[in-house]
Structure 1
Amino acid sequence: MNKSRTIKSILYATPMDMGGMPIRQPFPSAKAESIDPFLLLHHADIKVPTHVDVKHAGVGPHPHRGFSPVSFIFKGGVHHRDSRGNNNVVYAGGTQWMNAGMGVIHSERPPADIHEIGGRQELIQLWVNTPAKHKMDQPSYQPLTADDTPKITTTDGLVQVNVIAGNLGNTTGKIHTLSDVNTFTATFQKGGKYFFQIPESHNAFIYVLQGKMQVTGDSEVEGKYVAVFQNDGEGFELEALEDSTVFIGTGEPINEPVASHGPFVMNNQTELMEAFRDYQLGKMGVLIEE
């Protein structure tokens, strides 16, 4: 019998305004600064305005260094461009995983056909920290479509888990990561149940986008809440009390100092100042959107 983890804390995804874009942010917050190696989670569910050219909608060019900003797309799509020449659209069910490394400028816009496919963008952006030894690696970009994402479906057909990075059972995700990280998305029909077996050393959390879950036969977690687990077991069981969509993140703690400001995440203030200087000197490249 697998020993289930207990819940350490339940965090509400507070509504926030990010440059005019409404998002929700369960962490960092007063209750949880971060869940090492995960630094930040944003959940956006946005109706793309019809009076704005999609070329100017979404998030315009901005820099990053020292971590991986990752977008998990649930509705619509995201058009990614960056200063390394990557130019790609990924639609619902897909993932855009960028290791910013030594520095890159990117934009995340709605795709040109967003209004033909429903006009909504729903996504999670998760910031995954990079170990110090890899913070100045060359940037890399990994797109993953829904069709190419490995999936686990329960025998009763009530649960589908998409394995994006890391391992779950005998299924391995296709995304290459710079530390030991698992990221899964899952859809549950009411009554669906699944036990997520993960390494005991991993920090772990779930975020319920919508629905209501019973976690490890104990607490109920509703939509727009994160449950953070204690490191006291081999995994956790999720059972859907309603039809639900859930994000699951687990990772080996990096256990290094974090110095972050705006779009950069380094290990100390000197490295942060160098990041701002290098960006201003144009060392992270130039992104001209066509």
Structure 2
Amino acid sequence: MRTIKQIHAAGYSPIADLITYSPLPTAKLQQVDPFIFLNHHGFQTYPPNNNGLPFGPHPHRGMETVTFILKGDIMHKDSSGHESIMEEGGIQWMTAGSGLIHAEVSSPKFKKEGGDLEILQLWLNLPAKYKMTKPNYVDLQKDQITHFELDGGKVKVQLIAGTWEDQKGSFDTLSPIFLSTIEIIKGGSFSKNIPSGENIFLYIVKGALKIGNEEIPFRNLVEFNNDGDDLSVTASEDAIFILGHAKPFNEPMVAQGPFVMNTQKEIQEAYRDYQEGKFGSWEH
């Protein structure tokens, strides 16, 4: 069984009036290669006539974003021409690649009516060979995503990418990666084979899990040793968590602002290309 190396509490870092916790990166943990950044927004309830999410147009290059909408909605628009409104349970997968500009805000309906909101965004690194790939965006609503149950229905898996026994995730990826959202009721448990050469990404969104002899509450990221080929999880409370795993790229990483590249020179090129309008734009 995999053993726990360290548990990392998500630090509180609000953005405007948006409650935000971030467990990655921290002073003690730069990345779980290739998982490099996570923001957990909410849970909170917005009143009617609110300003919604504050993420207006901004650029990215050299990485991917995966956005999990647990409560509320998110309206996406980018310079490649994609537009969508994703609702509760939906997932967005955006490959920034060579560069694009996007905005992530709340829908007019949510801003007018208000409501509950909880959204997580995970950044995935891209290997050097894909840093300058063509940007891409795919979104799937809840009912379009592969899902199945384990442990007599106590464990509900939303399989986003990769495979779990005979089940295949709903998103195709440039590099092999497993990613899922899992709901598990108290007392539910499962085990999953994960080769020891792959890094595990596990963040508890809600409730609490027991892994080995450790009981871990929500808003914690669990860092594992690469010392076994199986992960075993039990819910000590009703819980929701994100589980991912992948082989590390083991490449140099330079991350500055919205850009994630391999060298400082490439970061400077990204800023220059953005300022020169090479990431595209749209009329507001």
TM range (shorter): over 0.9
Q: Say yes or no: does 1:188 pair with 2:184.
A: yes
Is the contact made by 1:131 and 1:178 (CA closer than 8 Å) also made in structure 2? no
Q: Give the distance between the partners of 1:192 and 1:144, measured in 2 at CA.
A: 27
How far residue 200 of structure 1 moved from its aligned partner, in angstroms, is 2.4
Q: Give the distance between the partners of 2:135 and 2:18, measured in 1 at CA.
A: 27
How far residue 86 of structure 1 moved from its aligned partner, in angstroms, is 0.1
Amino acid at match of 2:46: V
Report the equivalent of 2:213.
218
How far residue 52 of structure 1 moved from its aligned partner, in angstroms, is 3.7
Q: Give the distance between the partners of 1:8 and 1:33, measured in 2 at CA.
A: 15
Q: Rate the CA distance shift 1:186–1:117 in 2: closer, same or farther, 3 A.
A: farther
How far residue 19 of structure 1 moved from its aligned partner, in angstroms, is 5.1
Report the equivalent of 2:31.
34
Mean Cα displacement is larger for which, 100-109 or 149-158? 149-158
Taking only the aligned residue pairs, the percentage that are identical comes to 39
Q: Say yes or no: does 1:227 pair with 2:222.
A: yes
Residues 217-273 of structure 1, C-alpha deviations (whole Å, 9 max, x = no match): 321110111111111111211111111111112111011101111000011011100
Report the equivalent of 2:13.
16
Q: Rate the CA distance shift 1:221–1:53 in 2: closer, same or farther, 3 A.
A: closer
Report the equivalent of 2:46.
48
Q: Give the distance between the partners of 2:20 and 2:51, measured in 1 at CA.
A: 21
How far residue 89 of structure 1 moved from its aligned partner, in angstroms, is 1.2
Q: Say yes or no: does 1:258 pair with 2:256.
A: no
Q: Say yes or no: does 1:111 pair with 2:102.
A: no
Q: Give the distance between the partners of 2:197 and 2:15, measured in 1 at CA.
A: 34
Is the contact made by 2:39 and 2:122 (CA closer than 8 Å) also made in structure 1? yes
Q: Number of matched residues?
A: 283
Residues 39-87 of structure 1, C-alpha deviations (whole Å, 9 max, x = no match): 1111001433534455xx4310000000001101111111110001100
Report the equivalent of 2:269.
274
Is the contact made by 1:209 and 1:244 (CA closer than 8 Å) also made in structure 2? yes
Q: Say yes or no: does 1:153 pair with 2:149.
A: yes
Amino acid at match of 1:275: A
Q: Give the distance between the partners of 1:171 and 1:116, measured in 2 at CA.
A: 40
Gaps of 5+ in 2: none
Is the contact made by 2:200 and 2:244 (CA closer than 8 Å) also made in structure 1? yes
How far residue 176 of structure 1 moved from its aligned partner, in angstroms, is 1.6
Q: Rate the CA distance shift 1:179–1:190 in 2: closer, same or farther, 3 A.
A: same
**CA RMSD, 1 decimal:** 1.7
Amino acid at match of 2:175: S
Mean Cα displacement is larger for which, 109-118 or 67-76? 109-118
Q: Give the distance between the partners of 1:52 and 1:23, measured in 2 at CA.
A: 17
Report the equivalent of 1:92.
88
Residues 103-139 of structure 1, C-alpha deviations (whole Å, 9 max, x = no match): 0000111123326886122111111000111111110
Report the equivalent of 1:175.
171
Is the contact made by 1:179 and 1:252 (CA closer than 8 Å) also made in structure 2? no
| TM-score normalized by the length of structure 2 | 0.95
Amino acid at match of 1:200: S
Q: Say yes or no: does 1:124 pair with 2:125.
A: no
Q: Give the distance between the partners of 1:287 and 1:52, measured in 2 at CA.
A: 25
Q: Give the distance between the partners of 2:67 and 2:2, measured in 1 at CA.
A: 27
Q: Say yes or no: does 1:102 pair with 2:98.
A: yes
Is the contact made by 1:61 and 1:287 (CA closer than 8 Å) also made in structure 2? no
Amino acid at match of 1:33: Q
